[in-house]
Amino acid sequence: LVEQVMRMLKPIADKKDVILEIESYREVFAEVDETKMYLVFMNLIENSIKYNNEYGKVTVTINADHRDLNIQIMDTGVGIPPESVDKVFQRFYRVDKTRSRDTGGTGLGLSIVNKTILLHGGSIKCLSEEGVGTTFIIRLPLSQTMK
Ligand code: ATP
Ligand code: MG
């Protein structure tokens, strides 16, 4: 799914010379709603390109232990101020109206992402430093693992 989303978004990334990378050391299988999870990755990776700098980078890391799937979407973008980090999952919240005016968007992406992850019994959190970058960390239970 992540590869599929990256292929879709590559033209947008190329316009800013942003590199898209996946780090995963083995194949992981999880039981998920494919369409909903596709949209999760679409939203998160689109954000990490949209709020990135020219020549920036997006790294998606996928790992799993015996219980959970762990996915990190890390970017080298503009970051989010500390007082806003907890608000980005709220409906219609956008950090800086002037900053994000030219990027467009409704502010709904992350609220949908958050709901989808919760529906899958998982969790998502955001770590960010202004001027350094942002990382979204997803934990999803592997309801069924096929090796
Ligand atoms: P939409 O996704 O609905 O088109 P949006 O991207 O503004 O619009 P969200 O995806 O919900 O909405 O993100 C909310 C806000 O959080 C964004 O407007 C932006 O300010 C901030 N944000 C989200 N992801 C990042 C990121 N990777 N780096 C920096 N800021 C981010
Ligand atoms: Mg968005």
Does ligand 1 lie within 6 Å of residue 93's CB atom? yes
Look up the pTM and report it. 0.94
Average pLDDT, the chain: 92
Choice from 74, 88, 126, 132 to test ligand 1 binding pocket (greatest atom count within 8 A of CB): 88
60-80 confidence digits (pLDDT tens): 999 998 889 999 999 999 999
Does ligand 1 lie within 6 Å of residue 105's CB atom? yes
Does ligand 1 lie within 6 Å of residue 114's CB atom? no
Does ligand 1 lie within 6 Å of residue 75's CB atom? yes
Which atom of ligand 1 is found nearest the CA of 136? Answer: 27
78-124 confidence digits (pLDDT tens): 999 999 999 999 999 999 766 655 677 889 999 999 999 999 999 99
| pLDDT above 90: percentage of residues in the chain | 82
Res 145 pLDDT > 60? no
What was the pLDDT predicted at 102?
67
Tell me the CA–centroid distance for residue 42 and ligand 1, in Å: 12
Residue whose CA lies nearest to ligand 1 atom number 20: 95
Tell me the CA–centroid distance for residue 94 and ligand 1, in Å: 6
- Looking at per-residue pLDDT, the higher value among 26 and 129 belongs to 129
- Reading the block at residue 39, the tokens are 């949209």
Residue whose CA lies nearest to ligand 1 atom number 12: 107
24-45 confidence digits (pLDDT tens): 988 888 889 999 999 999 999 9
Tally the residues of the chain: 147
